[in-house]
Amino acid sequence: MKLFFHCEGDPNVRDAEYREPLTQVLLDSGPISLDALTTLTDGSIQARMIDDGSERARRDIEALSAKLGKSLTIFSTRDLGQAKMRIRNWQAAISAFHRCRGSDLTFLAKEVESMVRRRGKATLREVIRTLNQRHPAVLVGATVLALRTRTIGSDMDAHPWSVHTRLFRCGHGPEP
C-alpha cells in the first residue's frame, strides 16, 4: 500500500496501474508481477518495484532489469520510509476523496483548479472559504481530485495534510 500512496503523490506520475494482469511481465523464467506500472507526465512508461531485501525480489529485479523494455525504478523499504510524509498525507487525502464517492467532483475540481490558477497559490482553507456554497467535505474531495489529475500541486511532501496545505499552479512549486 505504501507504493500506491507514494505513486499517487508523485507529481511526475500522470497515471498508475496496480492490477496484476496489466502489471505482469512474461519472461523466460516465468511471469513476474511489477508492483506498479506508471505513466509519467512526459508520457514515458516506468515500471516500479519494491525491493524488500528478499532473494525472490533480487531475482525478479535482475531478470526484469535485463529484459524489460521500460524504465525500471526500484524502491527499497528505506526509500518508502523516507517518503513517510507523502505516504501519510496521501493516505488521508485519498480517504477524504473516497468519502465523496457518490458526488460528481469533476466540475468542482475544475473550479478549485481555476481558483488556484487565478491566485497562483491558495490553502485548502481558502478553497473551502471561497467556494463556500458547497459542503467542505465535497470541496476537499474535489481538491484531491485536482491534485490526483496533476492540474494543481501541493506541499504534501513536506507538510502535513490539513486545511493549511498549500496548493499552487503546477510547475510553480511551493514557496518557502
Q: What is the DSSP annotation of 109-137?
A: HHHHHHHHHHHSEEEHHHHHHHTTTS-HH
Q: What is the 3-state secondary structure (H, E, C) of 155-168?
A: CCCCCCCCCCCEEE
pTM for the whole thing?
Answer: 0.84
Closest CA to 175 of 116, 9, 166: 166
Are 22 and 73 members of one domain? yes
Residue 10: which domain range? 1-79
The pLDDT score that the predictor gives to residue 176 is 44
Enumerate residues 6+ apart whose C-beta is below 8 A from 47. 23, 25, 34, 36, 37, 38, 64, 68, 70, 71, 72, 73
pLDDT-based confidence at residue 28 (cuts at 50, 70, 90): confident
Are 73 and 8 members of one domain? yes
The rounded percent of the chain whose pLDDT value lies above 90 is 55
Residue 90 resides in a domain: no
Mean pLDDT across the stretch 87-95? 96
The pLDDT score that the predictor gives to residue 55 is 85
Q: What is the pLDDT of residues 45-74, one digit of tens each?
A: 888 988 888 888 887 887 787 777 678 888
Are 145 and 113 members of one domain? yes
Enumerate residues 6+ apart whose C-beta is below 8 A from 148. 8, 97
The domain spanning residue 13 has which CATH number?
3.40.1350.10
Closest CA to 156 of 83, 54, 98: 83
Residue 18 resides in a domain: yes
pLDDT at 142 > cutoff 80: yes
Mean pLDDT across the stretch 127-145? 95
The total number of structural domains that make up the chain: 2
Are 11 and 72 members of one domain? yes
